[in-house]
C-alpha cells in the first residue's frame, strides 16, 4: 500500500514562525511496511531526511537554515516498494522585528481617562497585536488592526507614559515607542 503522510506540526497551514530551522512533526501509516524513507522539502529543495522513519510513529525532521519568506513544505515518504506519498503545507519564516509603532497620540483625555492612538507598521508576517504599557505597567495586547487603547479609572497625575511595541504573527517584538 502507499504510505499516508500526516503533518502534525505546525498544526495550521500558513503558520508564521521566527524559527528559521523549523522542526516538522509528521507520521505515516502503511499497511505493508514498518519503515519508510522520509524526506522534508521546502520549495522543492530537500532540507532533511530520515531513512528509517517508523510506521505510525511521530517523527521530527528539522530543516537546515532558511531565509525569511513564504515556503511550501512537504514530507515525502517512500516505502520499500517505491510507493511515495506526501502531505503539503505552507509556512512563513519571519525573523525580522517589526518596524516601530508611530504617530502615537494621547490628545483625547478627560478626568480619569486617556485615549491613546497610533499607526501600526507593515510587516512580512502581519502585525498580530500591539503591546501596551502605561507608566511601566502592562495594560493590554491590542489585537490588530485596532490601533487605540483607552485606559480608564486613572487617578489625577501630572503625567502618564505610554509604551507601545508591535508584535508580528511570528511573535517578533518591535522596539518600544514611548510617549
- 136-170 pLDDT per residue, tens: 999 999 999 999 999 888 887 778 889 999 999 99
- pLDDT tens digits, 16-30: 999 999 999 999 999
Residue 21 cell numbers, joined: 530551522
Contact (CB, 8 A) for 164 and 118: yes
The pLDDT, as a whole number, for residue 76 is: 93
The pLDDT, as a whole number, for residue 143 is: 96
Residue 29's contacts (CB-CB under 8 Å, 6 or more residues apart) are: 3, 4, 6, 55, 56
Burial of 94 (0-12, 13-18, 19+ CB in 10 A): buried
Amino acid at each position: 500500500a502507499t504510505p499516508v503522510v500526516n503533518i502534525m506540526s505546525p498544526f495550521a497551514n500558513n503558520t508564521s514562525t521566527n524559527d528559521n530551522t523549523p522542526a516538522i512533526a509528521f507520521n505515516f501509516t502503511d499497511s505493508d511496511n514498518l519503515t519508510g524513507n522520509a524526506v522534508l522539502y521546502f520549495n522543492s529543495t530537500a532540507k532533511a531526511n530520515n531513512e528509517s522513519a517508523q510506521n505510525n510513529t511521530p517523527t521530527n525532521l528539522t530543516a537546515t537554515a532558511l531565509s525569511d519568506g513564504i515556503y511550501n513544505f512537504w514530507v515525502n515518504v517512500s516505502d520499500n516498494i517505491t510507493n511515495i506519498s506526501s502531505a503539503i503545507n505552507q509556512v512563513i519564516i519571519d525573523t525580522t522585528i517589526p518596524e516601530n509603532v508611530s504617530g502615537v497620540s494621547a490628545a483625547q483625555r478627560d478626568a480619569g481617562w486617556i485615549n491613546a492612538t497610533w499607526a501600526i507598521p507593515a510587516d512580512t508576517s502581519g502585525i498580530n497585536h500591539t503591546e501596551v504599557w502605561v507608566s511601566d505597567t502592562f495594560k493590554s495586547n491590542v489585537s490588530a488592526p485596532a490601533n487605540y487603547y483607552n485606559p480608564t479609572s486613572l487617578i489625577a497625575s501630572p503625567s502618564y507614559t505610554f509604551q507601545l511595541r508591535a508584535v508580528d504573527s511570528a511573535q517578533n517584538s518591535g522596539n518600544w515607542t514611548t510617549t
